[in-house]
Structure 1
Amino acid sequence: MTAIDGSFGLPAPAARAPSARAGVVGVGLVLAVALGLAVFNAAGWKLTLLYAVGLLLGLVLFHSRFGFTSAWRQLVTVGQGSALRAHMLMLAVACALYAVILGFGAGLSGRPEGLVMPAGVGVILGAFLFGVGMQVGGSCASGTLFAVGSGQTAILYTLGGFILGSIASAFAANWITVLQNLGPTVSFADTPLGYPGALLISLVIIAGVVLASRWVQRRRSPPPVQPPPSAWGIARVLRGSWPLWAGAIALAVLNAVTLFVSGGPWGITSAFSLWGAKILGWLGIDISGAPYWQVAKNAKSLHASVLADKTSVMDFGIMIGALIAAALAGAFVLHRRVPPRMALGAVLGGILMGFGARMAGGCNIGAYFSGIASFSLHGWLWGIMAIGGTYAGIALRPLFGLTNPKPTDSVC
């Protein structure tokens, strides 16, 4: 994670970034253009624009090292709350932008709709499983994509587990729906003040989280956060690292652009269900009879091209964008050897996240980030339960050869 002080100040000094990997940059640019043309031919300009947003998301996620898994782990293990406060900045900006877009009903795909779901048992159980899986698997949903793109091949095990868990959830879709509906659907916009009132409520909660994180940090005196190697001057824009506050604002803006263009918020994990079903189909295994694929919208996606699926296209963009960003920063290195215990943990963590995301109606992006930005209570419940799962996941990490931050360590 990029080092920032508690007030989102300037980053601490970092080592100079190594030379850019020009060959890898070239490969990434060719992939980016080729896939962009394929998306345009398959689905038109609007999905191509969303693919471009995905590329930018990959760049931002890599350059800012904007994480969710590490942010909660830092808070729980050593009381370092700077990354969590970056989350709150991101959420505050996203809420403000969503309030304008949803309030005016402005968008390129008709009237946009936020993600409002029941704050039910499905969110409680699913987000807890996701929190455990994040720590054991070593990454969250967005982190998995940008880590794979930046050459961290160990995370391929996590992605594989994500897909396996998503496949399994398709067969449990009926009872997952029952669990999701065991709770109230609460939108902060359903008040006499509408979206301005929803924004005010959200900002009050965000301020409370910021104050609480500062209180925890003062009590526990965590170690400083060390930034990764970085270029300086104008080169820093493309050769990172960026301060977390810059990543937070950029992610909020890009999520709002996604809402404006597509009519719905940014999400990630529904694509993993589609990829799993497509892969099995190519292997001659038909799972279209699973309850999840009996839903008309899902069935339509299953029988269409992957390049016509919004979430898939944006996910591909994130991975390619991260590849280009990592190569520009000289940080693209394929990790060929993965210890068996770590590989097992990555797969199991991915399975928990894949299944948990479907139970909770989304991941750290679709449910937590986009849910809170949409003024849905379930987004805040997701975050609380994911932190609860973080405690359990941290206790399990040593079983898979993973370490946890200590009070005497510098936090990256």
Structure 2
Amino acid sequence: MSSTPLAAPRGGSLFPAGAGGPGVLAAAALLLGALALTLAYGPRQGALLVLGGALGLVLYHAAFGFTSAWRVFILEGRGRGLRAQMVMLALAVVLFFPVLAAGTLFGEPVRGLVSPLSTGVVVGAFLFGVGMQTGGGCASGTLFTAGGGNARMLVTLLFFVIGSVVATRHFDWWLGLPSLPPVSLVETLGPTAGIAVSLALFAAIAAATVLVERRRHGALEREAAPAHRGLARFARGPWPLVAGAVALALLNFATLALAGRPWGITSALALWGAKGAQALGLAPQTWAYWQTPANAEALQSSVFADVTSVMDFGIIAGAMLAAALAGRFAPSLRIPLRSLAAAALGGLLLGYGARIAYGCNIGAYFSGIASGSLHGWLWLVAAFAGNAVGVRLRPFFFREGRAAPARGDGH
């Protein structure tokens, strides 16, 4: 494998001209933040910030999107992104199922994200799917594109937070709707059979995308030739989609080891919203959602004590670092009004939907399926249906063709 020097033309810096400031800021935030968290809360919290940074860098450099992958398949029948997701999930279940069956990892207790098969999952995932396409990103996509310099996604993120906290106000009502108990493939079938069934389902989905793509286009899409090779490609991207899939599965497993449960994103956004509501004089602590022991403790504590918040901060900083390394950190405030309206609407749907569905494309879909939870599969079906509706709404908000968005757009 050939190796290209990392040095930029100016001053031997790793960062392209003009990108050094954001890159240095992001690196300092990760390193100094990890040190501060270690001193205040212990080494695990510091490590989780760095782990979040690694997730942000991978998401940005691999342009690993759920929103764009689903949109391109719905509109064009191109399935490369969906197949990469199946690779990610396949590796995840192989890693997760035996450990979850044992209940411990490196001597520490671990648990999966297993939730009920509820009305809230169906409705919430559908709303989330619509929001993915109007907001321009999923949960991970909103964080990494905002961190990568997409100013519009900051609007999506703001309304994502608002929608999340509004959903916590209604959460007990959703709990009262028809629901089936949680079902775990790990517990029901055992780890070996659960892995076999899961891999068969992933293979079937991948095969279906191949059939659709070949029928519509005659051949499968290939990745474009990279601009960089060797170590320079690792630092500046773009990464192959499959490399991103493998890295995300491994980093989710690292999350399981450090946090004792898989990767999640959106509970932190609800927490930020609740703290904002308190600052405005509201009393979210009186709502049923915030009266459970874990949520009440999170609301009373600093956000820096919250595992999910710390990882979300890390994702933003890691994506900012990746964008600077790639020479793509160039925020612009020139955002069309309709696009802003779509960001606000999409953010509300994303936030509300994720909370009542027990998670997002990460907490419910990726980590739910990796945990063996059937609610993750239910979420996938309902969210895909929502995406199908969302892509029909996009022409009202955006002037676009059917091509996949450029790197740094909402994914």
**TM-score normalized by the length of structure 2:** 0.91
Q: What is the CA-CA distance between 1:64 and the residue it aligns to?
A: 0.3
Residue of structure 1 equivalent to 2:229? 232
What letter corresponds to residue 258 of structure 1 in structure 2?
Answer: T
Please say if 1:292 is aligned against 2:289: yes
Distance 2:149 2:25 in 1: 13
Instruction: Decide which moves more: 114-123 or 224-233.
Output: 224-233
Give the conservation status (yes or no) of the 8 Å contact 1:397–1:404. no
Q: Deviations 1:8-48 (Å, cap 9, x if unpaired)?
A: xxxxxxxxx99352222111112222322232233211111
SS of the residue aligned with 1:334? coil
Deviation >6 Å, runs of 4+? none
SS in 1 for 2:205: helix
Moved more, 21-30 or 226-235: 226-235
Cα deviation for residue 359 of structure 1 reads 1.2
- The answer as to 2:163 corresponding to 1:170 is no
Question: Which residue identity lines up with residue 60 of structure 1 in the other structure?
Answer: V
Residue of structure 2 aligned with 1:367, choices 352, 364, 368? 364
2:354 aligns with one of 340, 352, 357: 357
How many angstroms apart in 1 are the aligned matches of 2:148 and 2:166? 28
Q: What corresponds to 1:12 in structure 2?
A: none
Partner of 1:10: none
The farther-off stretch of 356-365 and 119-128 is: 119-128
Q: Do structure 1's residue 204 and structure 2's residue 196 form an aligned pair?
A: no
Shift of 1:97: 0.6
CA contact 2:119–2:174 (8 Å) conserved in 1: no
In the alignment, is residue 220 of structure 1 matched against residue 210 of structure 2?
Answer: no
What is the letter of the counterpart of residue 60 of structure 2? F
Verify the 8 A CA contact 2:165 2:273 in the aligned structure 1.
Answer: yes
Equivalent residues in 2 for 1:51-70, closer than 5 Å? 51-70=49-68
Structure 1 residues 216, 93: CA separation in 2 closer, same or farther (over 3 Å shift)?
A: same
CA-atom RMSD, angstroms? 2.1
Unaligned runs of 5+ in 2: 1-13, 407-411
Is 1:394–1:404's contact at 8 Å kept on the other side of the alignment?
A: no
Identity %: 47
How many residues align structurally? 392
SS in 2 for 1:230: coil
Q: What is the correspondence of 1:246-395 to structure 2 with a 5 Å cutoff?
A: 246-395=243-392
So what's the TM-score if we normalise by structure 1? Answer: 0.90
| Cα distance change of structure 1 residues 280 and 141 upon mapping to structure 2, 3 Å threshold | same
Q: CA deviation at 1:218?
A: 1.4
Cα distance in 2 for partners of 1:225, 1:382 equals 29
Matched, 1:28 2:12: no
Partner AA of 2:30 in structure 1: A
Q: How much has 1:155 moved relative to structure 2?
A: 0.2
- CA drift of 1:306 comes to 0.3
How far 1:279 sits from its partner (Å)? 2.0
Confirm or deny: 8 A CA contact 2:122 2:357 kept in the other structure. yes
**Once the two structures are superposed, what CA deviation does each residue of 1:104-151 show, in whole Å capped at 9, x if it has no partner?**
333368321111112221111111000000000000000011001110
**Separation (CA, whole Å) in 1 of partners of 2:361 and 2:229:** 31
In the alignment, which residue of structure 1 is the partner of 2:9? none
- The residue aligned with 1:158 is 156
What's the CA shift string for 1:302-351, capped at 9, x where partnerless?
A: 00010000000000000001111110110111121111110110011010
**Alignment match, 1:80:** 78
| SS of residue matched to 1:245 | helix
Q: Distance in 2 between matches of 1:59 and 1:83?
A: 18
Higher alpha-carbon deviation: 18-27 or 358-367: 18-27
Cα distance between partner residues in 2 of 1:245 and 1:136: 26
Render the CA deviation track for 1:155-208: whole Å, top value 9, x for unaligned.
Answer: 0110011011011111101012223x61242211234x5111111110011111
Q: 1:328 to 1:68 in 2, by over 3 A?
A: same
Q: Secondary structure at the match of 2:112?
A: coil
CA deviation profile, 1:221-245 (whole Å, cap 9, x unmatched): 1894665973222211111000000
Pair 1:125–1:299, CA change in 2 (3 A): same
Contact 1:171–1:291 at 8 Å: present in 2 too?
yes
The letter of the residue matching 1:392 is: V
Render the CA deviation track for 1:256-286: whole Å, top value 9, x for unaligned.
1111111111000000011111123233333
SS in 2 for 1:172: helix
